[in-house]
Structure formats: structure tokens, C-alpha cells
């Protein structure tokens, strides 16, 4: 407690029992490796397969990159803390964790909004689609997504760590969670953070409204398609995205908007897992299983012929 009161924080994690700490570390390690493999595989497939060089898969590649970075912010640190039986995190580590966590979460909401608009343009305005989503527009959209996330992370970090803290710096989470850190603030000293959080929440709500309106138009257009095969094809590209959006925003919204409790509970930890660990792990599975083009590209990349061609190509490159 004396150490954390001077230079850092103490993350309480999931349990004080050594066996449960080891179990938690193993479960998180398996989950992290699955997320790492799945997202890297999607990035590799989309990069290598020329048939997937379209706006939808361009945005999906950046979503996978965001997921890869997002889960890497919290899970490896939590695994290390559990294995070493030490929940201490320095002030610098906590600042960086908060910045990147908020920045990547905000960027994920933004990229999901852009992806919903891309599906709206492709389905509802097919004749103007290539003009609306031309390569330069896609690049500008992605740049805007990363910049918006960075600004959001910067605002939250600057405001949150300017708040004076009272008492022991003990956080009942497995990462530096802003709602938990606000419980350490001195009385009525965190109004600036609440104002920033209100602005971020309103922006996220605007993104949600945009996504909902996009899908209302999409579904009304799809239901007018006479062919059942055409409807199935459209739903196979839209439903995975809708599931990802709903799961991520509902879990994060519930955690950040519900009234803070005075005593920590297992429910707080469970809901934090729902929006920090599960979405980056499930997204590759959801998009791969429901998308015929992704499944075909995956089979092609993993085939022996393709592997031999890539091996010959890299040999030729290195000889040059």
C-alpha cells in the first residue's frame, strides 16, 4: 500500500488464491493466443488474396488490427501479474494502458460505424458504390478512425490522471479501468472526467444511431430482393457485422453507464471480460465462418500449392 500510494497502483485481479491465479493466467494465455492467431490470419489473408482487395475487407483488416492491439493492451499484463503473484503496475504503465485502451476502443466503435456505412452504400446504393467508397475515401476514413481514437484516448488520459486521489491506490480490476479509478478520486474532484465521458458516450451513441439507421435501410432493401439466394448472400456479409456491433457496444455500454457500486463484485470483472477479451477473440471466427469469400481465401492460403508458390516467391526476392 505504501508503494502504490507513491508511484503506482495495485491491480487486485480475479483472486488471491495461487491456484486460481495460475488457472486465470492459463485461460487468458489460451484466449490471447487464439485472438492473436485469428486476427493475424485475417490480416494475412486479406493482404495476400487480391480478390479481397475491396473496401469491405480493407475495413475488416483494420478491425482485426485494432482487435489485435486492443487485447494486447490488457491481457498480457494480467497474465504476467497472475504468474508472478504481483498485481503492481507503475504509474507510467497505467497511463499508457488507459490511453491505448480508450484510443483503441473508440477507434473500434468508429471503424464499426464506417463498416456499416460501407454495407449501406454497397446494398442500398450499388450504382454509386465505387464512387462513394473509392480507395482515397477508404484511406481517409481509416485515417479519421485512428485520429479520432487517439484524440479520445488523449482527452481521457489527461483528465483522468490530473484528478487528485485519496486513500490507497487499489483497483479492483485486472487492468487500469477508469470507472474503478474514479472511485479513488477525492470527493467532487472528477467532474471533468464525467464531462469527457459524457462527450465520448454521446459520440458513441451517435455512432450507434448511424449504425441502426444503416441497417434499417439495408434490411428494407434486402427484403425486396426476389431471389432467396441473393438475400442469403447479403445476410452472410451483414449479420456478422451486426452481431459484433451489438455485442461490443452493449457490453461496454452496460459497464460504463451503470451506477458504480461501492463494493467490488465478480460481475464487474465478468462484464469487463465481455468487452475487452471476448470480442477480439470471436471477431475472426464470426467473420470467417459466415463469409464464403473468407473461407475460400483461407483454404487457398493454407493449401500446399499456395504455400509452395509463396516459398518460391520469397526465395526469389531474397536472392535479388
Residue 303 lies in a domain: no
In this structure, the strands spanning 8-11 and 88-90 are: antiparallel
Pick the range with the lowest mean pLDDT from 12-16, 123-127, 184-188.
184-188
Taking CA atoms, 201 is separated from 2, 125, 198, in Å, by 35, 30, 5
Cell numbers standing for residue 209: 444511431
Residue 1 lies in a domain: no
Determine the Cα–Cα distance for residues 198 and 135; give it in Å rounded to an integer: 34
Compare 246 and 72 and report the one with higher pLDDT: 72
Q: What is the DSSP letter of 52?
A: G
Residue 2 has pLDDT above 50, yes or no: no
Which of 190-194, 242-246, 270-274, 275-279 tops mean pLDDT?
A: 275-279
In a domain, 97, yes or no: yes
- Structural domain harbouring 179: 8-288
The CA distance from 85 to 50, in Å, is: 47
Burial class (CB in 10 A: 0-12, 13-18, 19+), 187: exposed
Name every residue whose Cβ is closer than 8 Å to that of residue 198 and which is 6 or more positions away in sequence.
Answer: none
More confident residue, 164 or 45: 45
Give me the count of residues in the chain: 320
Query: How confident is the prediction for the chain on average, in pLDDT?
Result: 81
Asked whether residue 186 is assigned to any structural domain, the reply reads: yes
Residue 18 or 144, more confident: 144
Closest CA to 240 of 64, 32, 2, 76: 64
Structure confidence by residue, pLDDT tens digits, 110-169: 999 999 899 899 888 888 998 899 999 999 999 999 999 999 999 989 888 888 877 778
Mean pLDDT of 220-245: 74
pLDDT of residue 1: 44
Asked whether residue 312 carries a pLDDT value surpassing 80, the answer given is no
> Is the pLDDT at 94 greater than 80, yes or no?
yes
Least confident stretch, 2-11, 74-83, 132-141, 302-311: 302-311
Q: Kindly report the number of other CB atoms within 10 A of residue 184's CB atom.
A: 17
Q: Is the pLDDT reported for residue 240 higher than 80?
A: no
Give 61 or 199, the one with higher predicted confidence.
Answer: 61
What are the Cα distances from residue 169, in Å, to 6, 48, 75, 87, 184? 9, 47, 21, 12, 7
Lowest mean pLDDT, pick from 138-152, 196-210, 283-297? 283-297
Q: Mean pLDDT, to the nearest integer, of 193-205?
A: 80
Q: What is the DSSP string of 118-159?
A: HHHHHHH-GGGHHHHT-HHHHHHHHHHHHHHHHHHHHHHHHH
The answer to whether residue 152 sits within a structural domain is yes
In total, how many domains does the chain have? 1
**Which phi and psi angles does 185 have, rounded to 5°?**
-70, 150
DSSP assigned state of 51: G
CB neighbours of residue 239 within 10 Å = 13
**Bridge-partner residues for 8, per DSSP?**
90
Cα 55 to Cα 85: distance, rounded to the nearest angstrom? 45
Kindly give, in sequence order, each residue whose CB lies less than 8 Å from that of residue 185, ignoring residues fewer than 6 positions away.
Answer: 163, 164, 165, 166, 193
Q: Which CATH number covers residue 218?
A: 1.20.1070.10
Residue 127 is placed in which grid cell? 450504382
8 A C-beta contact, residue 236 and residue 139: no
Answer whether residue 315 is part of any domain. Answer: no
Q: Does 294 fall in a domain?
A: no
Amino acid at each position: 500500500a505504501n508503494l502504490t500510494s507513491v508511484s503506482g497502483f495495485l491491480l487486485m485481479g480475479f483472486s488471491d488464491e495461487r491456484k486460481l491465479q495460475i488457472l486465470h493466467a492459463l485461460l487468458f494465455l489460451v484466449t490471447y493466443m487464439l485472438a492473436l492467431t485469428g486476427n493475424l490470419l485475417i490480416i494475412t489473408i486479406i493482404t495476400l488474396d487480391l480478390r479481397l482487395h475491396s473496401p469491405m475487407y480493407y475495413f475488416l483488416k483494420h478491425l482485426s488490427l485494432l482487435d489485435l492491439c486492443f487485447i494486447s493492451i490488457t491481457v498480457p499484463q494480467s497474465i504476467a501479474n497472475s504468474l508472478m503473484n504481483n498485481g503492481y503496475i507503475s504509474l507510467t504503465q497505467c497511463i499508457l494502458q488507459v490511453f491505448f485502451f480508450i484510443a483503441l476502443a473508440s477507434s473500434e466503435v468508429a471503424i464499426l460505424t464506417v463498416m456499416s456505412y460501407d454495407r449501406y452504400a454497397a446494398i442500398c446504393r450499388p450504382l454509386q458504390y465505387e464512387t462513394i467508397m473509392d480507395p482515397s475515401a477508404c484511406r481517409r476514413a481509416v485515417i479519421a478512425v485512428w485520429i479520432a481514437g487517439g484524440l479520445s484516448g488523449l482527452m481521457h488520459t489527461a483528465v483522468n490522471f490530473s484528478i487528485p486521489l485519496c486513500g490507497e491506490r487499489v483497483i479492483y480490476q485486472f487492468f487500469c479501468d477508469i470507472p474503478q479509478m474514479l472511485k479513488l478520486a477525492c470527493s467532487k474532484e472528477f467532474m471533468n472526467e464525467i464531462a469527457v465521458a459524457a462527450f465520448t458516450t454521446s459520440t458513441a451513441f451517435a455512432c450507434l444511431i448511424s449504425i441502426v439507421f444503416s441497417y434499417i435501410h439495408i434490411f428494407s432493401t434486402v427484403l425486396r430482393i426476389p431471389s432467396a439466394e441473393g438475400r442469403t448472400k447479403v445476410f452472410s456479409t451483414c449479420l456478422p457485422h451486426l452481431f459484433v456491433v451489438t455485442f461490443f457496444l452493449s457490453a461496454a455500454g452496460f459497464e460504463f453507464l451503470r451506477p458504480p457500486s461501492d463494493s467490488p463484485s465478480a460481475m464487474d470483472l465478468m462484464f469487463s471480460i465481455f468487452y475487452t477479451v471476448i470480442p477480439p477473440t470471436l471477431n475472426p471466427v464470426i467473420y470467417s465462418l459466415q463469409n464464403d469469400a473468407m473461407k475460400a481465401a483461407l483454404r487457398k492460403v493454407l493449401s500446399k500449392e499456395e504455400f509452395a508458390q509463396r516459398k518460391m516467391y520469397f526465395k526469389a526476392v531474397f536472392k535479388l
